[in-house]
A and B are shown apart, each in its own frame.
Chain A
Amino acid sequence: MAMVEKRTVSLSVDGTSVSVPEAGTVLDAMLAAGVQVPHLCKDDDQEPIGACRTCLVRVEGVRGLPASCYLPARDGMVVSTSGHDLDRVRRTVLDLTSGMLSPGGRGALALAAEARRYGVDGRFRYGDLVSATRGAPRLLDDSTPAFTLDLSDCILCGRCVQGCQDVQHIGAIAVVGGGERAHIGAFLDQPLVESICTSCGTCVSVCPTGALYPRAFGDASVPNGGGNAG
């Protein structure tokens, strides 16, 4: 049987021409072109979520600034990943995102490089608005001995929820509550250990900010009970 040739599409990313498979996204093309843009909620092995808005791009002839992770690649697209308005908007997004995190915490550390790169230095202080209004019923869940969920390091990207449902088909956690009360939690906000969570750790492996982090393995140095490093 003859091999079916996989169709590809060609597009331009910041002036570089790249080809990706027909089903690929603009983010795939950007990664193929070696362009570094934050994409916090996109797991390499999962479908896009489109929640974090850090992978915004400008596409000639397309209105607004779409998220590249969700945008199908098309032949002849002309994509730019930087430029005055794009940098400004991305900086604001990162500032708002950083504002969700406790200062100096695990999450802030994980985002530090990107924040520096886009000039999020606290001057804009949009983030303060977010942290001032955001309230969650429980900030720390260390009920399972395997890992800790520290909501003060969470940006609500939803990768953990995706891992729990789409990878493991367990569905123990979700974004619970709405608006400023939205947070990651189990059914009825139970402690994880009392939920259907099996401590498989998939959520930990996909968390981009360390809001979910493993407790000490074996005899390593972090004491039991973890604690809020933030």
Chain B
Amino acid sequence: MLAERDALRIDLGAVRSVTTTCAYCGVGCGVDLQVDAQDRIVWVDDRPDNPSSQGMLCVKGRFGLTFVNHEERLTRPLIRKKGVLQETTWEEALDHVAEKLIEHRESFAVLASAKATNEDGYALQKFTRLVMATNNIDHCTRLCHSPSVEAMLKQLGSGATSNSYEDYDNAGCLMVVGTDTSSNHPVIASRLRRAIDERGTKLIVVNPKRIDLCDKADFFLRPNPGTDVALFNGLAKVVLDEGMADLEFIRDRTEGFDEWAASLSEYTPERVEELTGVPAADIRGAARLFARPPRPRGEPVAEGGSDRPYGGSCLIWGMGVTQHTCGTDNAYSLLNLALVTGQVGRPGNGVSPLRGQNNVQGCGDAGCIPDNLPGYQGLGEANRSKFEAAWGAPLPGERGLRATEMFELAATGGLDCMYVTGENPLLSEPYIAHAEEAIKNLKFLVVQDIFPNETTQYAHVVLPAASFAEKEGTFTNSERRVQRVRKAIEPVGESRADWEITADIARRVARKLELPVEQFQWQSAAQVFAEMASLTPILGGISHERLDALGDEGIQWPCPTPGHPGTKRLYTETFPVGRAPFVPVEQGPPAAELPSRRFPLLLNTGRILYHWHGGTMTTRARVLLQRSPELQVAINPSDAVRFGIEDGEEIVVSSRRGELDGKAMLTDAVRAGEVFVPFVKLKEANANYLTNAVYDPKSRIPEYKVCAVRIDKPGAPQTWRRGRRETESVGH
């Protein structure tokens, strides 16, 4: 039963080993959970045959999955009585939830979880649409890649990654934009390093912060925060001016080229240097490398070599592109560059928004978004009638609320009731103090999660969910690979799989409302998946049975029929939109809030290797918490001198909205005038007390990446606060 491999000859007491998929980021690494007789994970082994991870794992996957055994797991349903959350039975909790959801059915919204399985997501959106008669369902993609999705939907017709990790192996050039890949997707970073080391692949890093991958970069472009549009317009202009545009691709596959090309006339390398701070020579060099990279050395992997005389370029990006008030415009400018160079739809090239959560791709695929039914089928008449026929009741046709809109509405009393699953908005929303007000306004809040968190504190009912290690299902990773999640241990306490809890609630509500109760009678996760596949063409050929038979392989959607092998690469012949439109974009103001005299520094937020997102899971894994126990504020040494701060000193970082305590870490990875704070919550400090609740008008993503802050020694902020009031009164 234990792994057949001979490694790790120490007896850790494991009695069984279960192959499943890692629950951290969107890479989707294969793992073997080795479990002892007390159902504790004692070791996590890698899976060399898994095509997405190829035997690699990072510290979170290897040592961080032990959170499932943490003593703080929610084990029984909780119900608020006389203001206090008390343990109760499932019967009472579910009956109460059903009753309240019926009462507030007219003003109800759902936050789905990108940590949960595809099956959990499908069940939840079905309940929301069929029983609660609303499309008010969304998930955290609103806070990470909604601008990418928005832009990709318009220009390509689908929001998913176009290529496979295999294309990174075969690329001639990798352009990594706004992502600290070594921290956020460490196994992808390993794969990029391998390509660079073994095949001579070129690397262009675009990031205001110097990241680890810069050690291997041919070009490190360091634009001023919020000037990505200018930079990418500038790169595209060099491509045009130097005759490196792929004219054949532009003629056959795109539209709107002339108008877009004219819009670039002002973006000469010299002007772009003024706007972005990136030297004109680097702009020219990077553009040449991206448009005409050399072919990589050696034999192509899996016969996926470039079919052109030059190599392919992969465009890989993260939140540094999206979490801006101009996030969607940034994404348009990136895609324009990929289109003008024809670097999409061929072996060794493509566009990849790296997905942050293990199943953020799958959560959207399953339909947990306000404007699409499962499989990105729009809310139009034809699609709705297909689902209505299958589900036996009418469905709402109006687009629902997006996650950020739910909180804006709740803040003004316009939303009464929320069902939040596996999300912690009071850690992840910008300007937390504001989000807290919104949550307090809700008349009824039910939270379904594995740990108590900031949001459960305000819940009227808390439902304990089983973790990924305790249930069957599937996750879909960043390269659209649907992979199995398998039960390794018994559910902790009385916790249950999310889809089962949702189905229980759905049956109770449906019975009262005389809606089809039999629509929620699944006996297994495999049955939920089968129903989803039957209604979702991109998943039509996938089933648990087929995935199990394939071992570590998984299947990349689209996979319409049981005989279909899955799809490594999208857009090889055509785009779902037909011809891909170029979208002219202009550089606007870099950010909503810029440094001032009182707040002289620019705050950038992101992640560090040892923690994942808010830290609900990683702070409950001993190794990770010990490795990184407190919030480190990265400060340039010259700013440290300017503000009289020493390395390792306790400091207070404050913005117009709040403050946090952290430890100064002096590093030239950040430039003078900029500070970086990871957005994990450690010792009560969290970057989102500082961030600005301003949004990209096109996607409604918050501007997490830029706001103005100041740093002080502890105790000192009193002075500026007083100063602020004085200044304000003078101003009035």
Contact = CB atoms under 8 A, between A and B. Distances in A.
Given A169-B197, A217-B623, A218-B70, 13 more contacts: A45-B55, A110-B10, A200-B59, A205-B46, A208-B7, A210-B10, A214-B43, A216-B622, A217-B41, A217-B63, A218-B621, A219-B69, A219-B70
B7 A201 contact: no
Chain B interface: which size bin?
35 or more
Contacts of A204: 8, 62
B41 A198 contact: no
A43 B186 contact: no
Interface string A141-166: 00011100000000000000000000
Given A167-B56, A213-B10, A218-B70, A201 B62 contact: yes
Contacts of B626: 145, 224
Nearest to B621: A218
A168 B56 contact: yes
Given A205-B8, A206-B7, A208-B7, A217 B59 contact: no
Contacts of B48: 44-45
A8 B7 CA distance: 28
B251 interface: no
Contact of A208 (B6, B12, B59, B70): B6
Contacts of B186: 198, 200
Contacts of B45: 205
Contacts of B80: none
A207 B9 CA distance: 8
B128 interface: no
A145 B623 contact: yes
Q: Is the interface of A mostly helix, strand, loop or mixed?
A: loop
Contacts of A208: 6-7, 9
B7 A207 contact: yes
B609 interface: yes
Contact of A198 (B6, B9, B59, B70): B59
B299 interface: no
Interface in A164-203: 167-170, 193, 198-202
Contact of A215 (B6, B197, B623): B623
A144 B42 CA distance: 18
A209 B9 contact: yes
Interface in B29-63: 36, 40-46, 48, 55-59, 62-63
A220 interface: yes
B40 A169 contact: no
Nearest to B216: A169
A200 B10 contact: no
A206 B63 CA distance: 15
21 contacts: A145-B627, A146-B59, A169-B197, A170-B190, A193-B627, A199-B62, A200-B58, A201-B57, A201-B59, A201-B62, A205-B45, A205-B62, A206-B7, A208-B9, A210-B8, A215-B623, A216-B622, A217-B622, A218-B40, A218-B66, A220-B42
B624 to A, nearest CB: 8
Contacts of A58: none
A210 B8 CA distance: 7
A106 interface: yes
Contact of B40 (A44, A146, A219): A219
A208 B63 CA distance: 19
B63 A146 contact: yes
Contact of A210 (B9, B42, B627): B9
B205 to A, nearest CB: 16
B7 A43 contact: yes
Contacts of B43: 214, 217
Contacts of B63: 146, 199, 201, 214, 217
Given A217-B43, A218-B40, A106 B10 contact: yes
A77 to B, nearest CB: 25
Interface string B178-209: 00001000100010011001000000000000
Contacts of A199: 59, 62-63, 623, 627
Given A146-B59, A200-B58, A200-B62, A217 B40 contact: yes
A170 B193 CA distance: 8
A219 B71 contact: yes
